[in-house]
Structure 1
Amino acid sequence: MDRAADDVKQAIAGELQLMDPRVRASRELAGQLLDPQFVEVGGSGRRWTYETMLSELPDHPGSSAEDPRFEPSDVSGVRLAPGLVHLTFETVLGEIRTRHSSIWRKGDGAAGWRMYYHQATRVPPGVE
C-alpha cells in the first residue's frame, strides 16, 4: 500500500473511533484523537474548541450505549500533504442525517493521527 493510501486509512480509523460511544464518553480516549488546536463548526452552527468538545462530548447524542449509534457511509479521503488528510462522509444518527468534512494531521512522535478540524452540516429531510 502506498503512503498516501495508508495515511487516509489511518485517518478513517480515527474518525470511526470518534463515533464509538466508549471513546465519546471518555475524555482521555477522545483527547488522544483530537488535536490540541482542534476546532469544529457543528451542524447547529456552534463553534467548538478542543476543551469545549472534551468537556461536553460525553453528553452528546451517540455517547452512551443506550443512544442510537452513528451509521457512517461514503467515507472517503485524500492526502493533501504528508501528515495531512481530508475526509468526507455522511452519518445517520437516529433520524438525523449529516454530511461531514474533517481534516486530520499527524502529530509528532507517538501522538499519531488527530482530528484538527471538523465541519458538520445537517441534511434536511427529503434532500438527496
Structure 2
Amino acid sequence: MTDEVREAIAGELRLMDPGVRASRPLARQLLDPEFVEVGASGRRWTYDEMLAALPELDGAEEGRPRHEPADFTGVLLAPGLVHLTYETTLDGNRARRSSLWRRQGAATTWRMYYHQATPVPPADG
C-alpha cells in the first residue's frame, strides 16, 4: 500500500468521525470544491449540498451508530489521484463504497473529489 493510499484512507476515516461530520469547517478541509456524490439513495450531492447536510446525516452524532468500514483497498491511478473501495455497515445496513481522492498543485492535503455508495441487498452475504 502506498503512502498516497494510506493518506486517502485516513481522510475517508476522518469523514466518518462524528466530530468532523458535525463540523462544516472540518468537513470543508476534506471535501474538494468540485466534490460530487451519488448516495446510496441514488441522490446526487454537490459540495455545497453535502456541507449543508452532513451534520444531519447518519453517523454525525456522538453516541449514535456510526459507519463501520471494512475491507479498504486503494490504488494510485495517477499522481495526485487515488481510488478507494470499501464497505460500511450502519445499523445493520451495508453499502459498497467507492471514492476518488485528489491532491492538486502544491496542496499537501488530499480531498475527496467523488464518492458513490451502493446498498448491499440483505441476501448478498
Match of residue 23 from structure 1 = 20
User: How far off its partner does 1:107 sit?
Assistant: 3.1
Match of residue 34 from structure 2 = 37
Give the letter for the 2:92 counterpart: E
Give the letter for the 1:127 counterpart: D
Q: CA RMSD in A?
A: 1.2
Q: Distance in 1 between matches of 2:94 and 2:27?
A: 22
**TM-score normalised according to structure 2 size:** 0.96
Residues 1:99 and 2:96 aligned together? yes
Q: Indicate which of 49, 57, 60 corresponds to 1:63.
A: 60
Residues 1:120 and 2:117 aligned together? yes
Residues 1:86 and 2:83 aligned together? yes
- Structure 1 residues 75-120: Cα deviation after superposition (integer angstroms, max 9, x where no partner): 1100000000000000001121010000000133345100000000
Q: Distance in 2 between matches of 1:25 and 1:109?
A: 28
Q: Distance in 1 between matches of 2:4 and 2:10?
A: 10
Moved over 6 A (4+): none
**In percent, how many aligned pairs have the same letter?**
63
Unaligned runs of 5+ in 1: none
Give the length in aligned residue pairs: 125
Map of 1:6-17 to 2, 5 A cutoff? 6-17=3-14
Q: Distance in 2 between matches of 1:111 and 1:57?
A: 24
Q: Distance in 2 between matches of 1:82 and 1:48?
A: 26
Give the letter for the 1:62 counterpart: G
Match of residue 50 from structure 1 = 47
Which secondary structure state, in structure 2, belongs to the residue aligned with residue 17 of structure 1?
Answer: helix
